[in-house]
Structure 1
Amino acid sequence: MILLISDLHLQEERPDITRAFVDLLDGRARHARALYILGDFFEAWIGDDAMTPFQQSICQALRRLSDSGTAVYLMHGNRDFLIGKAFCQAAGCTLLADPSVVQLGGEPVLLMHGDTLCTRDVGYMKMRRYLRHPVTLWVLRHLPLAARRRLARKLRSESRAQTRMKATEIVDVTPEEVPKVMAAHGVRTLVHGHTHRPAIHKLVVDDQPARRIVLGDWDRRGWALQVDEQGFALAPFEFS
């Protein structure tokens, strides 16, 4: 069994989500061969050198799972792209490139956070290219902590305001982009998060049946994609 999750947006202000995540680690994930976290794991991350006690507790929980024998893979999201090697080493997880192709259920599967599929959101894509540029990343990691905290608050506030103002189709994936990306990677299954619209979409790629599986965000309930001998099953679960 393999589990895939995304968009937990972990933060101290949502202890219900944290409890549900720890319950998953202590329960189903202990029986899984691997756990994949496809971005926006944390609501915000300003650097491995700025871990709060809360974030350290999450790191330790991941380490316990990793030490138990479950492989843990983590992909950057748009809110936690500054997670680095120090966190991953401490948590016992492997940082995955976005995108990555992995073998799941006997087939190559493309894993993405999903934000790069939203090409109609021109303003966001421009900002993303700027923030992910190696020079920008170096500068961000070397800013004083106080400056990073102020910048993170500003970016989060602007992101919320802009998302509310944008049309639904702008902040969702571009339909034409999906088959193009899947064909380029030679896959028939794509799994991603980011859009907070959990579903399994049927489509055609290179005249072959294909599917796009969208992971759900953790807010009123949790979401996980389970891959086992029965196939791919996307399902929500209630917080205890």
Structure 2
Amino acid sequence: MLTIHAAGLLLTGDPAAAPVPGGAVLVDGGAVAALGPLDEVTAAYPGARVRRWPGVLTPGLRQWHALWLLTRAYHPDPREYDELGDRPLTGDCLAALDLPETRRSGSVRRGLQRMLRYGTTAVGGPFRDTVVRTAVARSGLREVPATLAPGVLDDLPNLDPFHHAAALADAIPAPLTVGGRADLAAFDVPDEAGLVAAGAGTCVATVLAGRLVYRGA
């Protein structure tokens, strides 16, 4: 089924392309089939389902610190919130936990789910740990090489890709292109400057290879 994702502003991530007010992305299966103003896309594909989101549409984001967040942090189960809280545990707090493989696997899966809530669709690898590699493969998140300038990966890890980015281009693996994989996200902000300032916690939807995998309340 063809699906159109629409928002007040489309940012394709292509530095040569202007933002598209009232923009839309047509998704066919797992690929982008068209990009442009909503009225033009709906006129060309009148039978497509339309999902409207507040704010801006962008390519899905890239999480450089995925390996750290999945192997050096514990993401509590909601049933553990009374005891452990709802924030990732690191350092001495992590060392004090008994983490058999089943419990560690659950943490990794929850960590990946939390990344989806921040519009993340690509994670920086490689992942050599079997538990992490398996969970990433099953999640559908795309693994990309974590090649950065020296020192960037030493910054304090954060689930928000914009914590380490000064512009949208710094936080995405690739622009949205017709024929490319349909990885995109919607954020409840007015424009790119607002997104960089407010961060990816404003995410209201994440689409992974054409599938809506996160929808905010």
TM-score tier, shorter chain, comes to: under 0.3
Higher helix share: 1
TM-score by length of 2: 0.26
Report 1 or 2 for greater relative contact order, CA contacts < 8 Å, sequence distance ≥ 6.
2
